[in-house]
Amino acid sequence: MDFNDTPEEAEFRAKAKAWLEANAPKERASGRGDEGHMAAAKAWQARKASAGYAQITWPKEWGGGGGTPMQSIIFGQEEAKYGQNYGYFQIGLGMCVPTVMAFANDETKARFVGPAVKGDEIWCQLFSEPSGGSDVAAARTKAVRDGDDWVINGQKVWTSGAHYSDYGIVLVRTDPDKPKHKGMTMFWIDMRAPGVEVRPIHQISGGSDFNEVYFTDVRISDAQRLGPVNDGWKVSLVTLMNERLAVGGGTGIDYSTIMTLARDLNTDKGPAMADQAFREKLADWFVQSEGLKYTRFRTMTALSRGQTPGPESSIGKIIAAGQLQELSNAAVEMEDQYGIIDDGTISPLNAAFQAGLMSSAGLRIAGGTDEILKNIIAERVLGLPGDIRVDKDVAFKDMPTGR
Ligand SMILES: Cc1cc2nc3c(=O)[nH]c(=O)nc-3n(C[C@H](O)[C@H](O)[C@H](O)COP(=O)(O)OP(=O)(O)OC[C@H]3O[C@@H](n4cnc5c(N)ncnc54)[C@H](O)[C@@H]3O)c2cc1C
């Protein structure tokens, strides 16, 4: 692949740059979770949607831009320079709404897709449970049919953004007599429906980005079903494929960011950049980053040829998350006692390394843990023998639970 823009791409980039220059706020709103922060994020999303830049690859009739994946990547690269990525819409537009678009009836799509693109409504993904995160098919939250309705009882956990979400997609057990992958169904739900209780989880960073969500006799209509009854596993694969693509991107910190810090910083032993041990690490990060860059180019090549990127997006995710943790850790250590100051107005580079250190452990778990991604790479990229799956053909109700 030629990594330079084609003439058409260069034209699109110039147009996007000019639009961003004229429209993007120059300041990024602070205070994640505050009303003002959310309002700024919604306003920016609406402005992008009105210009066709919100979901560039989606058809215009759904509020998208009717553009190509390469245009979407180009816009993302240019938008990143303005720091306006707030993260409230990523799960909805990256995972939930594409699932709704693939499996809902026309009426449901007409109702929900537009408001999500404009940022009027936010979605969350309710898959993980105390009994299983890596093993999504271990879901115990159940839905029991009652006439034209279903009644949901159970608990989800680690649900990002549930506390500010309007809607969610939820994976539930509908037939415990079938093996675990064959007895689940997917529904969309209103997060404010009676019986849905959201309890924020307090994090090390001081924030609360994710939640426990409890369902007590939550009654929903069969019209809220996404895909056939007991086919929820196949529906969830569509969501999860989109998830790995969404979280496999860059983290905003790389070897060049830490090089900038090391050039400016004097330690007890002299300039940080002169430290031999640090320079060795830097060389490793450089090699890793170059590998990551070309792996991403491979994904972009697949997209530009109209192909769906394969499990290689797992490679991007595992390397990017691990590198963020190592780099942030090294930078915070380098800052010595000042490393504990997590304040964008004082800490170097807007406290990017402190934020990276706090979030990287979670990033190594969310969207597939390191171990799960290694299994995927081993089985589907390298063609090695599969993981042992002893419960594949056992009825869910007969699986040992330890109780
Ligand atoms: C920041 C963040 C945001 C999240 N947001 C959401 C969300 O919005 N919605 C949602 O549904 N979930 C969300 N999650 C949950 C996430 O999907 C799960 O945490 C993840 O899938 C791991 O599941 P678990 O926590 O139950 O760990 P487990 O699956 O119990 O894993 C525990 C350990 O065992 C290892 N392990 C498990 N199975 C295997 C295996 N077969 N082979 C080798 N090792 C294995 C794992 O790698 C891990 O080290 C989020 C998590 C985080 C950290």
Q: Is residue 267 part of a domain?
A: yes
Number of structural domains in the chain: 3
Same domain, 365 and 278: yes
Q: Answer whether 369 contacts ligand 1 (Cβ < 6 A).
A: yes
Domain boundary, last residue among 195, 230, 265: 230
pLDDT tens digits for range 64-95: 999 988 899 899 889 988 877 788 999 999 99
Identify the pLDDT of residue 331: 94
DSSP state of 48: H
Same domain, 226 and 266: no
End-to-end CA distance of the chain: 55
Cα→Cα distances 65→78, 165, 317, Å: 16, 24, 27
What is the residue-averaged pLDDT of the chain? 90
Q: Answer whether 247 contacts ligand 1 (Cβ < 6 A).
A: no
pLDDT at 31 over 90: no
Q: Using 50, 70 and 90 to split pLDDT, how confident is the model at 248?
A: very low
Domain region containing 27: 7-86
- In sequence order, what are the residues at sequence separation of 6 or more whose Cβ sits closer than 8 angstroms to the Cβ of residue 97? 112, 113, 116, 117, 123
Read off the pTM.
Answer: 0.91
- Which residue's CA is minimally distant from atom 29 of ligand 1? 134
Same domain, 365 and 269: yes
pLDDT at 223 over 60: yes
From 140, 141, 242, 369, mutation site for ligand 1 pocket: most ligand atoms within 8 A of C-beta: 369
111, 102 Cβ separation under 8 angstroms: no
- Which residue's CA is minimally distant from atom 43 of ligand 1? 371
Q: Answer whether 159 contacts ligand 1 (Cβ < 6 A).
A: yes
pLDDT at 49 over 90: yes
Q: Which residues are known catalytic residues?
A: 243
Adjacent-strand bridge partners of 199: 212
Q: Answer whether 207 contacts ligand 1 (Cβ < 6 A).
A: no
CATH number of the structural domain spanning residue 280: 1.20.140.10
Residue 160 alpha carbon, nearest atom of ligand 1: 8
Identify the pLDDT of residue 250: 56
